[in-house]
């Protein structure tokens, strides 16, 4: 059996950076709201959302999962149907597994998340990539999909990552949709970093599917996600079991049977509200980008930037790492000491950051911290 000391350690797990300024791309969109924190405590026990279940997760009336999934989510996503998933990647796999056969071709943008490639492997389909433009902007041209699709026979699905999770580039998703639509190919938008941050409507993207992530962008605990779709796909992706008529095959019956669903719901009103202020987020991101460039870093990806996810080329910070004892780790430590969370331990050459959760005042502190560190090691 495990050692008592090791077991004891499991009962006192803690996070070290509770009140720090958070600029970690994975985390800025999923800090819980106060309502979600209350829900977390209330529904912490396993299967708590199933108190009044009568056989289908998405039909539960108390808490109002049915209304949330069947009315609110489709309205919010601009889709005709919606369901719950464990996260964006799980939604992508559900669609791949339902629509494709092994050996099929799926066309995807060159900025895709790793999990899209892994989901494709799991579904045994071949990914054909529309490349990005490379350094320094790494943009994906929508017309590249036209070129790729015209070269391929029998493309089963088109996937666009909107925005991608590294550069925060927003490809022309509606145009990709028009191209896919004109060829009669289903089109999935991976909106892990847009659904819950930006206003987005699946219908306006000419998409068949949109996936979102609760624990990336919807102020929710994980694992949780959403999948919106056109009504015509309901019978394919949400097909019912032949033996257990109330259960959906691709969901294995039920998916988020626990507390992440309740945090997703409890934060939803704030999420609906915050996407209305996306223009302020974009202005803040652009202001931050300009401030970072002023102290000598270079923002990669699209300019002017239209998303809070950003990568900065930080050669001066890398140069320092080559001559200090802690090597790349000095930067993480220096930032942590200044109350700033989100620089990955070891990273100095290029920094992936998000401005979503921090105020301008806090972001000013971030820029000053970098400046201060550059001074210190000059």
Q: Which of residues 140-169 bind a second copy (CB under 8 A)?
A: none
Distance in Å, CB of 329 to a second copy, minimum? 12
* Residue 250 or 302 with smaller CB distance to a second copy: 250
3-state class (DSSP) for residue 92 = helix
Q: How far apart are CA 271 and CA 217, in angstroms?
A: 9
Bridge partners, residue 161, by sequence? 190
Contacts with a second copy in 255-284 (CB under 8 A)? 255-260, 262-263, 265-266, 268-269, 272
Is there binding between residue 216 and a second copy (CB under 8 A)? Answer: yes
Per CB under 8 A, the segment of 155-163, 170-178, 183-191, 251-259 that binds a second copy is: 251-259
Q: How far apart are CA 32 and CA 15, in angstroms?
A: 15
* Residue 301 or 342 with smaller CB distance to a second copy: 342
* Residue 158 or 265 with smaller CB distance to a second copy: 265
Tokens of 207: 């998409």
* Residue 180 or 221 with smaller CB distance to a second copy: 221
Is there binding between residue 225 and a second copy (CB under 8 A)? Answer: no
Contacts with a second copy in 30-59 (CB under 8 A)? 30-33, 35-48, 50-52, 54
H helix and E strand count, the chain = 15, 12
SS (H, E, C) 122-164: HCCCEEEEECCCCCCCCCCCCHHHHHHHHHCCCEEEEEEECCC
Distance in Å, CB of 288 to a second copy, minimum? 21
* Residue 168 or 222 with smaller CB distance to a second copy: 222
Counting residues that bind a second copy (by CB under 8 A) gives 94
Contacts with a second copy in 80-109 (CB under 8 A)? 86-87, 89-90, 93, 97
Per CB under 8 A, the segment of 64-72, 164-172, 174-182, 365-373 that binds a second copy is: 64-72
* Residue 181 or 336 with smaller CB distance to a second copy: 336
Pick from 19, 114, 150, 361 the residue near a second copy by CB under 8 A: 114
Contacts with a second copy in 315-354 (CB under 8 A)? 345
* Residue 29 or 191 with smaller CB distance to a second copy: 29
Tokens of 375: 């001074």
First to last CA, the chain: 52
Contacts with a second copy in 5-34 (CB under 8 A)? 6-17, 26-27, 29-33
Is there binding between residue 236 and a second copy (CB under 8 A)? Answer: no
Q: Burial code of 360-374, b = ≥16 C-beta within 10 A, e = fewer?
A: eebbebbbebbeebb
Q: How far apart are CA 99 and CA 120, in angstroms?
A: 12
Classify residue 324 by its DSSP letter. Answer: S
Percentages of the chain per state (helix, strand, coil), in multiples of 5: 45, 15, 40
What is the CB neighbour count within 10 angstroms for residue 356?
Answer: 23
- Strands lying side by side in the sheet with 309-313: 298-300, 309-313, 350-354
* Residue 171 or 192 with smaller CB distance to a second copy: 192
What is the CB neighbour count within 10 angstroms for residue 61?
Answer: 11
Pick from 161, 224, 314, 355 the residue near a second copy by CB under 8 A: 224
């Amino acid at each position: 059996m495990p050692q008592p000391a090791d077991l004891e350690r499991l009962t006192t797990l803690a996070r070290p950076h509770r009140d720090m300024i958070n600029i970690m791309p994975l985390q800025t969109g999923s800090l819980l709201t106060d309502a979600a924190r209350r829900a977390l405590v209330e529904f912490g026990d396993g299967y708590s959302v199933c108190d009044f279940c009568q056989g289908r997760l998405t039909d539960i009336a108390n808490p109002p999962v049915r209304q949330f999934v069947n009315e609110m989510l489709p309205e919010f996503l601009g889709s005709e149907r919606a369901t719950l998933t464990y996260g964006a990647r799980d939604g992508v796999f559900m669609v791949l597994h339902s629509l494709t056969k092994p050996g099929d071709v799926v066309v995807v943008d060159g900025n895709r998340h790793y999990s899209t490639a892994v989901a494709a492997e799991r579904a045994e389909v071949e990914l054909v990539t529309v490349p990005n433009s490379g350094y320094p902007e790494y943009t994906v041209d929508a017309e590249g999909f036209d070129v790729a699709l015209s070269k391929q026979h029998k493309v089963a699905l088109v996937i666009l990552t909107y925005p991608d999770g590294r550069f925060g580039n927003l490809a022309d998703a509606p145009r990709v949709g028009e191209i896919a639509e004109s060829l009669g190919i289903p089109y999935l938008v991976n909106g892990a970093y847009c659904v819950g941050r930006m206003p987005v409507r699946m219908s306006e993207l000419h998409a068949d599917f949109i996936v979102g992530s609760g624990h990336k962008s919807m102020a929710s605990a994980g694992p949780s996600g959403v999948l919106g779709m056109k009504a015509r796909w309901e019978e394919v992706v949400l097909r019912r079991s032949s033996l257990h008529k109330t259960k959906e095959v691709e969901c294995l019956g039920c998916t988020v049977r626990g507390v992440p669903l309740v945090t997703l719901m409890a934060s939803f009103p704030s999420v609906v509200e915050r996407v209305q202020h996306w223009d302020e987020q974009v202005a803040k991101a652009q202001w931050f980008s300009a401030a970072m460039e002023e102290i000598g870093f270079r923002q990669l990806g699209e300019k002017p930037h239209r998303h809070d996810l950003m990568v900065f080329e930080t050669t001066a910070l890398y140069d320092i790492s080559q001559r200090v004892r802690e090597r790349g780790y000095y930067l993480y430590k220096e930032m942590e000491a200044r109350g700033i969370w989100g620089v990955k331990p070891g990273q100095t050459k290029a920094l992936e950051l998000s401005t979503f959760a921090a105020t301008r005042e806090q972001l000013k502190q971030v820029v000053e911290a970098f400046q201060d560190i550059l001074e210190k090691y000059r």
